[in-house]
Amino acid sequence: MAVLGILKYPHPILKKRSEAVSRIDEEVKKLIQDMRETMYEASGIGLAACQIGVSRRVIVLDVSPMDPQHSFFALINPEIIAEEGEIDHEEGCLSVPDCLEKVKRKEKVCVRGLSPEGMEMEIKGEGILAIALQHEIDHTNGILILDRVSRLKREIYRNKLKKEKRKEEKL
């Protein structure tokens, strides 16, 4: 198992739709373990495989720091099958550092996917679990939180990155 590097915006793989997993083998199980370790090392509550450079539809979540009844789990090929309500919630992202923005999400979701053992699962979530599920599924679809904020806020973040890059180049 290994802690892997997390890709940062604007890396191109973060904007691509990830490929479905057709077979759950040892490689996929190792990927899940590496993602788990990487997420915990980064103090995150969720991680998608594309964030570590693997364009596969795999997510890991552990929202127990905020909602103790929902500890670690992994989902393969997750898809939202039902949703209701709306909520605005401040979100951050391991791939978009120093960006906390209010994002409009569904208040409740039902997600279907496969467990690491290949069993079909349905997870009903509300609150932080629903938000984290939507956030990570967005990653598998090539969508970042920057795509869910106003154009002005997106431009402010991009300009901040350009300014930091110019500073680094001068060093």
What amino acid positions are annotated as catalytic residues? 136
- Cis ω before 65 (30° cut-off from 0): no
Whether the CB-CB separation of 122 and 77 falls below 8 Å is answered with: no
Phi and psi, residue 47, nearest 5°? -155, 140
Contact assessment for residue 59 and residue 78, using Cβ atoms and an 8 Å cutoff: yes
Cα–Cα distance measured from residue 100 to residue 35, given in angstroms and rounded to the nearest whole number? 22
Of the candidates 42, 69, 77, 41, the one whose C-alpha atom is nearest the C-alpha of residue 126 is: 69
Written as six digits, the tokens of 152 are: 């002005």
Separation CA 152–CA 154 (nearest Å): 5
* 15 touches 142 (CB < 8 A): yes
